[in-house]
A = this chain, B = another copy of it.
Amino acid sequence: MSRSAITPDVRKPRADAQRNRERIVAVAREAFMQHGTEASLDDIARRAGVGAGTLYRHFPTREALIECVYHTEVEKLAAAGTHLQGTMPPLEALRAWMLLFIDYVAGKLLILPALDAVPGGSARLIEGSRGPIYGAFLHLIRHAIESGDLLQEVDPNDMARALIGTFHTTAMPGWEASARRIVDLLIAGARSPVQAPQQVSAGKKGAPSRKSARR
Contacts and interface: CB of A to CB of B under 8 A. Distances in A.
A209 B92 CA distance: 17
A207 B164 contact: no
Given A158-B185, A181-B158, A170 B96 contact: no
Interface residues on A, range: 35 or more
A106 B208 CA distance: 14
Contacts of A2: none
Q: Which of A107, A168, A194, A202 has the most CB of B within 10 A?
A: A168
Interface string A105-120: 0110000000110001
Contact of A195 (B124, B188, B196): B188
A159 to B, nearest CB: 8
Q: Is chain A's interface secondary structure helix, strand, loop, or mixed overall?
A: helix
A166 interface: yes
A168 to B, nearest CB: 5
A213 to B, nearest CB: 11
Indicate how many identical chains form the complex: 2
Interface in A160-184: 161-162, 164-172, 174-175, 178-182, 184
A165 B159 CA distance: 12
Nearest to A92: B198
B197 A121 contact: no
A83 to B, nearest CB: 12
A128 to B, nearest CB: 8
Contact of A185 (B89, B120, B189, B205): B189
Nearest to A102: B206
Contact of A184 (B116, B157, B166, B194): B194
A197 B107 contact: no
A180 B207 contact: yes
Contacts of A102: 206
Nearest to A197: B91
A36 to B, nearest CB: 8
A44 B40 CA distance: 24
A52 B189 CA distance: 51
Interface string A197-215: 1101110111100100000
